Amino acid sequence: MKSALGLLLIGLSLFGCDGFIDRQVFFPERAHYAAPADFGLTAQDVWLTTSDGVRLHGWHLPAAGSANLMLFCHGNAGNISHRLDNLARLHRAGVAVFIFDYRGYGSSEGKPSEAGLYLDADAAWDWAQDQARRQGGRVMVFGRSLGGVAAVYLAASRQPAGMILESTFTNLGDMAKVHFPLPGLQSWLGGRFNSLGRAPRVGCPVLMLHGDADDIVPFRLGQELYEALPQPKRFITLDGAGHNDTYLVGGSEYFTRLAKFVNNPIEP
Protein backbone atom coordinates (compact mmCIF):
# COMPACT_ATOMS: atom_id res chain seq x y z
CA MET A 1 0.00 0.00 0.00
CA LYS A 2 1.48 3.35 -1.00
CA SER A 3 2.35 5.65 1.87
CA ALA A 4 0.69 8.66 0.28
CA LEU A 5 -1.13 9.93 3.35
CA GLY A 6 -0.05 13.56 3.62
CA LEU A 7 -0.25 16.34 6.14
CA LEU A 8 -3.43 17.57 4.50
CA LEU A 9 -4.98 14.16 5.18
CA ILE A 10 -4.10 14.56 8.83
CA GLY A 11 -5.83 17.89 9.07
CA LEU A 12 -8.90 17.01 7.04
CA SER A 13 -9.37 13.64 8.70
CA LEU A 14 -10.02 15.40 11.96
CA PHE A 15 -13.05 17.03 10.33
CA GLY A 16 -14.37 13.73 9.02
CA CYS A 17 -13.56 14.27 5.34
CA ASP A 18 -14.03 10.65 4.35
CA GLY A 19 -13.91 11.32 0.62
CA PHE A 20 -10.54 12.96 0.91
CA ILE A 21 -9.18 10.05 2.92
CA ASP A 22 -10.41 7.61 0.27
CA ARG A 23 -8.58 9.60 -2.40
CA GLN A 24 -5.33 9.18 -0.48
CA VAL A 25 -5.79 5.43 -0.06
CA PHE A 26 -6.81 4.40 -3.58
CA PHE A 27 -4.52 4.92 -6.58
CA PRO A 28 -6.42 3.51 -9.57
CA GLU A 29 -5.30 3.44 -13.18
CA ARG A 30 -7.80 3.16 -15.99
CA ALA A 31 -5.63 1.93 -18.88
CA HIS A 32 -4.58 -1.72 -19.04
CA TYR A 33 -0.86 -1.96 -19.63
CA ALA A 34 -1.11 -5.49 -21.09
CA ALA A 35 -3.59 -8.25 -21.91
CA PRO A 36 -3.73 -11.82 -20.57
CA ALA A 37 -2.70 -13.18 -23.97
CA ASP A 38 0.59 -11.28 -23.67
CA PHE A 39 1.42 -13.62 -20.78
CA GLY A 40 0.16 -16.78 -22.47
CA LEU A 41 -3.11 -16.73 -20.54
CA THR A 42 -6.66 -17.37 -21.71
CA ALA A 43 -9.05 -15.25 -19.67
CA GLN A 44 -12.81 -14.84 -19.68
CA ASP A 45 -14.01 -11.26 -19.33
CA VAL A 46 -16.49 -11.07 -16.46
CA TRP A 47 -18.91 -8.20 -15.83
CA LEU A 48 -20.58 -7.76 -12.46
CA THR A 49 -23.10 -5.32 -11.06
CA THR A 50 -22.87 -4.37 -7.39
CA SER A 51 -25.85 -3.95 -5.11
CA ASP A 52 -25.65 -0.17 -5.62
CA GLY A 53 -25.63 -0.49 -9.41
CA VAL A 54 -21.92 -0.11 -10.25
CA ARG A 55 -20.62 -2.24 -13.12
CA LEU A 56 -17.31 -3.99 -12.44
CA HIS A 57 -14.90 -5.85 -14.68
CA GLY A 58 -12.79 -8.89 -13.94
CA TRP A 59 -10.99 -11.86 -15.47
CA HIS A 60 -11.62 -15.53 -14.83
CA LEU A 61 -8.53 -17.64 -15.47
CA PRO A 62 -9.33 -21.35 -15.16
CA ALA A 63 -6.62 -23.93 -14.54
CA ALA A 64 -6.79 -27.53 -15.68
CA GLY A 65 -7.67 -29.89 -12.85
CA SER A 66 -8.41 -27.12 -10.35
CA ALA A 67 -11.96 -27.14 -8.97
CA ASN A 68 -11.33 -24.59 -6.23
CA LEU A 69 -11.16 -20.93 -7.21
CA MET A 70 -8.98 -18.16 -5.79
CA LEU A 71 -10.81 -14.85 -5.50
CA PHE A 72 -7.93 -12.38 -5.89
CA CYS A 73 -8.35 -8.99 -4.15
CA HIS A 74 -5.48 -6.82 -5.37
CA GLY A 75 -3.73 -3.86 -3.75
CA ASN A 76 -4.51 -0.17 -3.96
CA ALA A 77 -2.58 0.86 -7.09
CA GLY A 78 -2.90 0.15 -10.81
CA ASN A 79 -5.49 -2.37 -11.98
CA ILE A 80 -5.83 -6.07 -12.71
CA SER A 81 -3.48 -5.88 -15.70
CA HIS A 82 -0.60 -4.98 -13.38
CA ARG A 83 -0.98 -8.42 -11.75
CA LEU A 84 -0.60 -10.42 -14.97
CA ASP A 85 2.90 -11.70 -14.23
CA ASN A 86 1.69 -12.90 -10.83
CA LEU A 87 -1.41 -14.45 -12.43
CA ALA A 88 0.69 -16.29 -15.01
CA ARG A 89 2.81 -17.83 -12.26
CA LEU A 90 -0.29 -18.86 -10.32
CA HIS A 91 -1.66 -20.46 -13.47
CA ARG A 92 1.54 -22.45 -13.98
CA ALA A 93 1.19 -23.66 -10.39
CA GLY A 94 -2.30 -24.96 -11.20
CA VAL A 95 -4.35 -22.29 -9.41
CA ALA A 96 -7.63 -21.09 -10.96
CA VAL A 97 -8.18 -17.38 -10.31
CA PHE A 98 -10.93 -14.81 -10.51
CA ILE A 99 -9.47 -11.30 -10.23
CA PHE A 100 -11.59 -8.17 -10.39
CA ASP A 101 -11.12 -4.43 -10.40
CA TYR A 102 -12.68 -2.30 -7.71
CA ARG A 103 -14.85 0.60 -8.78
CA GLY A 104 -12.79 3.27 -10.49
CA TYR A 105 -10.04 0.84 -11.52
CA GLY A 106 -9.45 -0.39 -15.06
CA SER A 107 -12.72 -0.93 -16.90
CA SER A 108 -14.86 -0.83 -13.75
CA GLU A 109 -17.24 2.07 -13.36
CA GLY A 110 -17.52 4.47 -10.43
CA LYS A 111 -15.13 6.04 -7.93
CA PRO A 112 -13.20 4.14 -5.26
CA SER A 113 -14.23 4.35 -1.63
CA GLU A 114 -14.02 2.21 1.47
CA ALA A 115 -17.77 1.55 1.42
CA GLY A 116 -17.55 0.70 -2.27
CA LEU A 117 -14.67 -1.70 -1.64
CA TYR A 118 -16.94 -3.90 0.46
CA LEU A 119 -19.81 -3.77 -2.03
CA ASP A 120 -17.39 -4.67 -4.81
CA ALA A 121 -16.03 -7.59 -2.78
CA ASP A 122 -19.58 -8.84 -2.19
CA ALA A 123 -20.37 -8.80 -5.92
CA ALA A 124 -17.10 -10.57 -6.77
CA TRP A 125 -17.78 -13.17 -4.09
CA ASP A 126 -21.23 -13.93 -5.48
CA TRP A 127 -19.81 -14.53 -8.96
CA ALA A 128 -16.87 -16.59 -7.69
CA GLN A 129 -19.12 -18.70 -5.46
CA ASP A 130 -21.44 -19.50 -8.34
CA GLN A 131 -18.53 -20.36 -10.62
CA ALA A 132 -16.84 -22.57 -8.02
CA ARG A 133 -20.06 -24.50 -7.41
CA ARG A 134 -20.43 -25.11 -11.15
CA GLN A 135 -16.99 -26.68 -11.29
CA GLY A 136 -17.48 -28.66 -8.08
CA GLY A 137 -15.19 -26.60 -5.90
CA ARG A 138 -15.09 -23.84 -3.31
CA VAL A 139 -13.79 -20.29 -3.08
CA MET A 140 -10.54 -19.23 -1.39
CA VAL A 141 -10.14 -15.51 -0.83
CA PHE A 142 -6.73 -13.95 -1.39
CA GLY A 143 -5.91 -10.40 -0.34
CA ARG A 144 -2.68 -8.52 -0.83
CA SER A 145 -2.02 -5.21 0.94
CA LEU A 146 -5.25 -3.17 0.76
CA GLY A 147 -6.88 -6.23 -0.80
CA GLY A 148 -6.39 -7.92 2.54
CA VAL A 149 -9.05 -5.60 3.96
CA ALA A 150 -11.53 -6.88 1.36
CA ALA A 151 -10.47 -10.49 2.00
CA VAL A 152 -10.89 -10.24 5.78
CA TYR A 153 -14.27 -8.56 5.26
CA LEU A 154 -15.41 -11.52 3.13
CA ALA A 155 -13.95 -14.14 5.44
CA ALA A 156 -15.75 -12.55 8.38
CA SER A 157 -19.12 -12.26 6.62
CA ARG A 158 -19.18 -15.17 4.16
CA GLN A 159 -17.99 -18.77 4.30
CA PRO A 160 -14.89 -19.20 2.14
CA ALA A 161 -13.01 -22.47 2.28
CA GLY A 162 -9.88 -20.56 3.25
CA MET A 163 -8.16 -17.19 3.21
CA ILE A 164 -4.66 -16.16 2.14
CA LEU A 165 -3.38 -12.78 3.34
CA GLU A 166 -0.21 -11.14 2.16
CA SER A 167 1.55 -7.92 3.16
CA THR A 168 -1.58 -6.54 4.77
CA PHE A 169 -2.28 -4.48 7.86
CA THR A 170 -4.49 -4.01 10.90
CA ASN A 171 -6.30 -0.73 10.17
CA LEU A 172 -5.70 2.70 8.68
CA GLY A 173 -4.99 4.25 12.05
CA ASP A 174 -2.02 1.98 12.63
CA MET A 175 -0.73 2.73 9.13
CA ALA A 176 -1.08 6.46 9.72
CA LYS A 177 0.85 6.18 12.98
CA VAL A 178 3.73 4.49 11.14
CA HIS A 179 4.04 7.08 8.41
CA PHE A 180 2.73 10.20 10.17
CA PRO A 181 3.03 9.70 13.96
CA LEU A 182 1.00 12.66 15.18
CA PRO A 183 -1.14 12.64 18.34
CA GLY A 184 -4.75 11.53 17.87
CA LEU A 185 -4.44 10.34 14.29
CA GLN A 186 -4.23 6.65 15.12
CA SER A 187 -7.37 6.59 17.25
CA TRP A 188 -9.28 8.77 14.79
CA LEU A 189 -8.55 6.51 11.81
CA GLY A 190 -8.54 3.20 13.68
CA GLY A 191 -12.05 2.32 12.52
CA ARG A 192 -11.22 2.79 8.84
CA PHE A 193 -10.20 -0.24 6.74
CA ASN A 194 -10.33 -2.12 10.03
CA SER A 195 -9.30 -5.74 9.48
CA LEU A 196 -8.23 -6.05 13.11
CA GLY A 197 -11.80 -5.47 14.28
CA ARG A 198 -13.18 -8.11 11.91
CA ALA A 199 -10.45 -10.70 12.46
CA PRO A 200 -12.10 -12.56 15.39
CA ARG A 201 -15.15 -13.29 13.19
CA VAL A 202 -13.13 -15.11 10.54
CA GLY A 203 -14.24 -18.72 10.44
CA CYS A 204 -11.93 -20.43 7.95
CA PRO A 205 -8.32 -21.65 7.80
CA VAL A 206 -5.83 -18.84 7.19
CA LEU A 207 -2.44 -18.73 5.49
CA MET A 208 -0.63 -15.43 6.02
CA LEU A 209 2.59 -14.26 4.39
CA HIS A 210 4.62 -11.11 4.98
CA GLY A 211 8.07 -9.94 3.94
CA ASP A 212 10.36 -9.01 6.81
CA ALA A 213 11.82 -6.14 4.74
CA ASP A 214 8.45 -4.51 4.00
CA ASP A 215 8.90 -0.74 4.31
CA ILE A 216 5.27 0.11 3.45
CA VAL A 217 3.29 -2.20 5.74
CA PRO A 218 5.54 -3.03 8.69
CA PHE A 219 6.07 -6.69 9.41
CA ARG A 220 4.80 -6.19 12.97
CA LEU A 221 1.38 -5.02 11.72
CA GLY A 222 1.01 -8.27 9.79
CA GLN A 223 1.95 -10.19 12.92
CA GLU A 224 -0.55 -8.23 15.01
CA LEU A 225 -3.37 -8.99 12.60
CA TYR A 226 -2.32 -12.64 12.53
CA GLU A 227 -2.51 -12.88 16.32
CA ALA A 228 -6.12 -11.67 16.23
CA LEU A 229 -7.20 -14.35 13.74
CA PRO A 230 -8.68 -17.62 15.06
CA GLN A 231 -7.12 -21.03 14.47
CA PRO A 232 -6.38 -22.86 12.24
CA LYS A 233 -3.78 -20.52 10.82
CA ARG A 234 -0.16 -20.33 9.75
CA PHE A 235 2.22 -17.38 9.36
CA ILE A 236 5.08 -17.54 6.86
CA THR A 237 7.90 -15.00 6.94
CA LEU A 238 9.25 -14.21 3.49
CA ASP A 239 12.89 -13.52 4.29
CA GLY A 240 14.21 -10.45 2.52
CA ALA A 241 10.95 -9.60 0.77
CA GLY A 242 9.65 -6.06 0.64
CA HIS A 243 6.09 -4.98 -0.06
CA ASN A 244 5.70 -5.56 -3.80
CA ASP A 245 8.21 -8.32 -4.53
CA THR A 246 6.89 -11.07 -2.26
CA TYR A 247 6.00 -13.53 -5.00
CA LEU A 248 9.31 -12.90 -6.75
CA VAL A 249 11.44 -13.34 -3.64
CA GLY A 250 9.41 -16.37 -2.58
CA GLY A 251 10.06 -18.11 -5.90
CA SER A 252 8.71 -21.54 -6.74
CA GLU A 253 8.26 -22.48 -3.08
CA TYR A 254 5.90 -19.54 -2.65
CA PHE A 255 3.61 -20.77 -5.42
CA THR A 256 3.81 -24.37 -4.24
CA ARG A 257 2.59 -23.25 -0.81
CA LEU A 258 -0.28 -21.23 -2.25
CA ALA A 259 -1.37 -24.01 -4.60
CA LYS A 260 -1.29 -26.56 -1.78
CA PHE A 261 -3.43 -24.34 0.42
CA VAL A 262 -5.93 -23.58 -2.35
CA ASN A 263 -6.34 -27.30 -3.01
CA ASN A 264 -6.47 -28.31 0.67
CA PRO A 265 -6.94 -25.45 3.16
CA ILE A 266 -7.72 -27.72 6.12
CA GLU A 267 -4.06 -27.73 7.14
CA PRO A 268 -2.63 -24.23 6.62
Catalytic residues: 145, 214, 243
Q: Beta-carbon neighbour count of residue 8 at 10 Å? A: 11
Q: Using CB atoms within 10 A of its CB, is residue 27 exposed (0-12), middle (13-18) or buried (19+)?
A: middle
At 228, give phi and psi (nearest 5°): -85, -10
Distance CA 145, CA 108 (A): 20
Between helix 84-92 and helix 246-263 the angle, nearest 10°, is 40
Give Cβ neighbours of residue 1 (< 8 Å, ≥ 6 apart): 25, 75, 76, 145, 146, 169, 175, 216, 217, 243
What stretches of 169-232 show up as alpha helix (H) in DSSP? Answer: 172-179, 185-189, 195-198, 219-228
How many whole angstroms separate alpha carbon 9 and alpha carbon 21?
A: 6
